Amino acid sequence: MSATAPTRPVLPPDITARKGGVPLVVLTAYTTPMARLVDAHCDIALVGDSVGMVLHGMPSTLGVTLEMMILHGRAVVRGLSKAMAVIDMPFGSYEEGPAQAYRNAAQLMMETGAPAVKLEGGQHMAETIAFLTARGVPVMAHVGLTPQSVNTLGGYKVVGRDDEAARVMADAKACAAAGAFSIVLEKVPVGLAGRITAELPIPTIGIGAGVDCDGQVLVIDDMLGMFTAFRPKFVKRYAELGAAADQAIATYAEEVRRRAFPGPEHGFADQVKS
Ligand code: KIV
C-alpha cells in the first residue's frame, strides 16, 4: 500500500476556495508536452483561444473554432495529472444564448475531459453563466479586455479607466453573482483590479491587472519568449526560447550545408559485427 495519500486533480471548487490565499498560478497550454511542464508548477492550464494567434498564425482569436478547441483541449488534458484544465469557448459558440452555450460547453467537456470552460463577457453573459453552472458546467468568466470583442472595442486597449471603471466592476460582480467559480481580469487598471478583488467572493486571475489579483495568468509562449510577433507591456519574459531555437536551427542548417551533420555517430553500420 502506498504511504502517500492518493492525489486527485484540482477541481473548480478547490480554485474558489483559494480566494485570498496563496496566489493561483495559471498558464496557457495548447499541447501535451507543454501541459506536462505546466502541470508540474501551476494550478490551472488554460487552453486559451489565443492558440489561434500563437500556434496557428491567425490575426486575432475570432477564427478559432470549437473543433480546434477540442483538439488542443484533448492534447492538454492528456498531459495533466494534477493541474485543472479550463477550455476557452471560442467566438460564436456561446453568444446566441444559454441553450447554444450549454450545447457547446457540454461538447467541449465531454470530448476533452476538461472540468470547466471560460467565456468572455460581463453583465450580458450573467444569464448564460447561471444557466451553465446550474447544469454542471463550471464557468471561469473573463472581463475587462475581452479579445473576442476586439472589433467593437477598437483594439487591445486597457479597459476600465475613468468612467468605465463602474461598468467593469458591475460586470465582474454580475459574473460572480451568476455563479462563476473564478474570473479573469484582462488589462484592467491596477487600482480597479484591486477593488474588484476585494469586493468579489471568487478569485480574480489577472493578466495585465496588477499584483493584487488572487492569481496571475500569462500566455506561455509570451513568457517563454517564443511568440515574438508583438510584446504586450504586461508580459515578463522568463526565457528567450525563440532566440535559442533560432540559433539551434541556424547551426543545424550550417552543419548540413557543410556536411558536418550527420556525423559517424549518427549513422548505422552496413553489417552487424559478429
Ligand atoms: O486565450 C487566452 O489565452 C486567454 C488568456 C490570455 C486569459 O484568454
pLDDT digits (tens, 9 = 90+) for 158-176: 999 999 999 999 999 999 9
Instruction: Quote the cell numbers at residue 130.
Output: 447561471
Q: With respect to residue 226, please indicate whether it lies within any of the assigned structural domains.
A: yes
Closest CA to 93 of 115, 118, 66: 66
- Mutating to test ligand 1, I would choose from 49, 216, 230 the residue with most ligand atoms within 8 A of its C-beta, which is 49
217 Cβ closer than 6 Å to some ligand 1 atom: yes
48 Cβ closer than 6 Å to some ligand 1 atom: yes
Q: With respect to residue 272, please indicate whether it lies within any of the assigned structural domains.
A: no
Instruction: Quote the cell numbers at residue 55.
Output: 500556434
Q: With respect to residue 2, please indicate whether it lies within any of the assigned structural domains.
A: no
CA distances from 42 to 34, 39, 210 (A): 12, 6, 19
- pLDDT at position 76: 98
In the reported structure, the alpha carbon of residue 180 is separated from the centroid of ligand 1 by a whole-number distance in angstroms of 17
| Number of domains the chain contains | 1
Spans in the chain with pLDDT lower than 70: 1-7, 274
Kindly state the DSSP code that residue 125 receives in the 8-state scheme: G
First to last CA, the chain: 47
- pLDDT at position 272: 87
- pLDDT at position 7: 66
Instruction: Quote the cell numbers at residue 140.
Output: 471561469
Question: Can you tell me whether residue 117 is helix, strand or coil?
Answer: strand
Contact indicator for 116, 141 with CB cutoff of 8 Å = no
- pLDDT at position 88: 98
Q: With respect to residue 180, please indicate whether it lies within any of the assigned structural domains.
A: yes
Pairing outcome for strands 182-186 and 139-144: parallel
49 Cβ closer than 6 Å to some ligand 1 atom: yes
Q: With respect to residue 114, please indicate whether it lies within any of the assigned structural domains.
A: yes
The C-alpha atoms of residue 182 and residue 190 are separated, in whole angstroms, by 18
- pLDDT at position 5: 58
- pLDDT at position 229: 75
Q: With respect to residue 5, please indicate whether it lies within any of the assigned structural domains.
A: no
- pLDDT at position 273: 77
Peptide bond into 262 cis (omega under 30): yes
- pLDDT at position 72: 98
Q: Which CATH number goes with the domain that contains 251?
A: 3.20.20.60
Q: With respect to residue 148, please indicate whether it lies within any of the assigned structural domains.
A: yes
Q: With respect to residue 269, please indicate whether it lies within any of the assigned structural domains.
A: no
Residue 137: give the domain boundaries.
12-262
